[in-house]
Amino acid sequence: MRSVTKLVRSMPAVALVVSLLISVLVIALRSAGYLESLELAAYDWAVRLLPKIATADSRIVLIG
């Protein structure tokens, strides 16, 4: 019994339990759709950081 108590109080065991709980929480929130607005905002921000695509010069005309 003492070894179980010692294991529960060890830092790696606590870190493992906390990381599993947070992972389950994030997965549950994402599955329920609560994180969609944050995901879309992050995607919009990332797209805005991309370099601007050069537009065609209006002086160039294709004749075909």
Quick one: pLDDT at residue 1?
Answer: 65
Q: Residue 57: inside a domain, yes or no?
A: no
Quick one: pLDDT at residue 20?
Answer: 98
Evaluate the CA torsion angle 17, 18, 24, 25 in order and state its sign: positive
Q: Residue 64: inside a domain, yes or no?
A: no
Q: Residue 54: inside a domain, yes or no?
A: no
Q: How many domains does the chain divide into?
A: 1
Alpha-carbon distance 36 to 24, whole Å? 17
Structure token digits, residue 30: 């994402």
The pTM (predicted TM-score) of the whole model is 0.57
Domain of 14 in residue numbering reads as: 2-46
- For 1-60, what is each residue's pLDDT tens digit? 677 777 777 888 889 999 999 999 999 999 999 999 999 999 999 999 988 877 777 787
Residue by residue, DSSP assigns 8-48 as HHSHHHHHHHHHHHHHHHHHHHHHHTTTHHHHHHHHHHHHH
Q: Residue 12: inside a domain, yes or no?
A: yes
Q: Residue 22: inside a domain, yes or no?
A: yes
